[in-house]
Structure 1
Amino acid sequence: MGDGTIAPVHIKDVVIGEGSSKIIVPLTGRTPDDLHTQVGALTGGPADIVEWRVDFFDELDDHASVAAQAHGLARQLDGTPLLATCRTAHEGGQAVIDDRTYADLNVALTESGAVDLVDVEYRRDPEVVQRIIAAAHTGGVAVVASNHDFDGTPDRDEIVSRLRAMQDLGADICKIAVMPRSAADVLTLLDATRIMHEQYATRPLITMSMGALGVISRLGGQVFGSAATFGTVGAASAPGQVDAAALRAVLELLDRSR
């Protein structure tokens, strides 16, 4: 049970869980040249954190190449925190890999010294999840435990239950994304976020309702307790992501209003 105190996560100069929602911008390039170009487009832009969607990378099977690319991105980002995410097909991503390969890849990323946060799909094999979390924390890498439900929106208590399970695993940030079929589903996600934030959370949350119906959750999620949101500079990595510059303007308007 939370006591109303959220422990913010400090990543370089970014504090997640305090102040305005942080903007995370994904990179989906398949080659080093693609990624270099995408990072170049971010210069001077609104990204607080950059997410490398490793599952799009053509050399995903070569963990040494993945680690080398992570170092290249970190150098080019020059201080902007880097979140490494290998999203599997089961949760809407590109990677079709077994649990052991998933663990080996993510451990290699955490041990590379190049990434600041790593995404872990919390519903994978429990031993795999714990192995990645332990490796990340040993290396000073923050863990974003995640769950992506493209089939629909679970009920409010189930969403809260999943977020609490991520927290119990020792994740530093708990993230859930769900697919709405109605406006009521969006309200369910937002109310679950509020309840988790007010009653149970001891660490930051990232929540969103995907697709066109759910855009409001990406814009105003911080009102309900979501500490970060995803915006695009170029290609989106999930349905419903909006332009990061426009997103920054909305977040600043909300801050002034509050």
Structure 2
Amino acid sequence: MDKLVKVRDLIIGDGIPKICVPIIGKTREEVLEVAKSLSDINYDFVEWRVDWLDNPLDLPYITEILKELRSILNNVPILFTFRTAIEGGEEEITKEDYYKLNYGIIISGLVDMIDVELFMGDELVTATIEEAHAHGIKVVVSNHDFERTPAKKEIVNRLQRMQSLGADLPKIAVMPVDKTDVLTLLAATEEMASTYSSTPIITMAMGRNGVISRICGEFFGSAVTFGSASHASAPGQIPANELSNIITKMHEFF
């Protein structure tokens, strides 16, 4: 199976890893200011972390901001993400509200991709994926462990489970306590990518120990890396321009 995902004019899984930049802001003005500042940054798509917003469940308010974001970003793909507190986000949310928010965003047609967390449960994840696909929206099914790095087998199992549920882009981020944990994450990435995956996958180790995974993840099978613009959305993110320069330089020799 062709391991590519096309979002607007962007093809994920082909060529150099794609760089995603988070958009973070508590107010409409802050969010739009970040979006406008991206004109001088090398990146491929954005992730709007709506859980940072001052009222992240106000669907009419959010959709109005999305309309303005689309105008500013033109053809740049937008990934919409409400990161729950249990997975490192800014807000707690019930499963019912989580689904309602994502459903409302999906039917608005204002985003290109949506993130849904694996541990929200198979029923919610499957329902979200089906609705998103019915509206031509790609789905990142994600899991973030800010406490530890699971064993290699567990990382691979989680990525396989995401894929089996219908994820277009399975994603896992882990917190290493030492360099061995980073090797575990990279080994799991290679096993998944080379043996089991039918889609591009996204993996990373967070924090200082994990920085190298954001740079070299592609050599083990990760198709996307995250670089910061004004603020990082997770520990260990490298400024996007520096990340782009490093990756581009590496590709001069391969």
Secondary structure in 2 aligned to 1:20? Answer: coil
User: Residue 228 of structure 1 aligns with which residue?
Assistant: 224
- Given candidates 72, 82, 96, the residue that maps to 2:92 is 96
Asked if 1:85 is matched to 2:86, the reply is no
CA shift at 1:108, angstroms? Answer: 0.9
Asked if 1:23 is matched to 2:19, the reply is yes
CA distance in 2, matches of 1:101, 1:202: 31
Give the conservation status (yes or no) of the 8 Å contact 1:63–1:108: yes
CA distance in 2, matches of 1:254, 1:6: 25
CA distance in 2, matches of 1:69, 1:128: 26
Query: How many pairs are equivalent?
Result: 254
Which amino acid is the alignment partner of residue 241 of structure 2?
A
Asked if 1:180 is matched to 2:157, the reply is no
Asked if 1:256 is matched to 2:252, the reply is yes
CA distance in 2, matches of 1:108, 1:73: 17
User: Residue 40 of structure 1 aligns with which residue?
Assistant: 36
Residues 1-258 of structure 1 correspond to what in structure 2 (within 5 A)?
Answer: 5-258=1-254
Q: Which piece of structure 1 moves more, 81-90 or 69-78?
A: 69-78
CA shift at 1:126, angstroms? Answer: 2.2
Which amino acid is the alignment partner of residue 191 of structure 1?
A
Give the conservation status (yes or no) of the 8 Å contact 1:6–1:201: no
CA distance in 2, matches of 1:6, 1:150: 32
CA shift at 1:58, angstroms? Answer: 1.3
CA shift at 1:255, angstroms? Answer: 1.5
User: What is the RMSD computed on CA atoms of the aligned residues?
Assistant: 0.9
TM-score by length of structure 1 reads 0.96
Deviations 1:72-116 (A, max 9, x none): 211110111000000000100012110010000011111111100
CA shift at 1:6, angstroms? Answer: 4.2
Give the conservation status (yes or no) of the 8 Å contact 2:193–2:221: yes
CA distance in 1, matches of 2:64, 2:129: 21
Secondary structure in 1 aligned to 2:127? Answer: helix
CA distance in 1, matches of 2:35, 2:107: 23
Query: Structure 1's 212 and 92: CA in aligned 2 closer, same or farther, altered over 3 A?
Result: same
CA distance in 1, matches of 2:234, 2:136: 28
CA distance in 1, matches of 2:231, 2:171: 21
Deviations 1:109-163 (A, max 9, x none): 1111110000010110322212211111011000000000111000111100000
Q: Percent identity?
A: 44
Which amino acid is the alignment partner of residue 164 of structure 1?
Q
Unaligned runs of 5+ in 2: none
Give the conservation status (yes or no) of the 8 Å contact 1:53–1:84: yes
Which amino acid is the alignment partner of residue 197 of structure 2?
A
CA distance in 2, matches of 1:44, 1:134: 36
CA distance in 1, matches of 2:197, 2:250: 23
Give the conservation status (yes or no) of the 8 Å contact 2:122–2:165: no
CA distance in 2, matches of 1:69, 1:252: 33
Give the conservation status (yes or no) of the 8 Å contact 2:129–2:166: yes
Please list every run of at least 4 consecutive aligned residues from structure 1 whose deviation after the TM superposition is greater than 2 angstroms: none
Secondary structure in 1 aligned to 2:83? Answer: coil
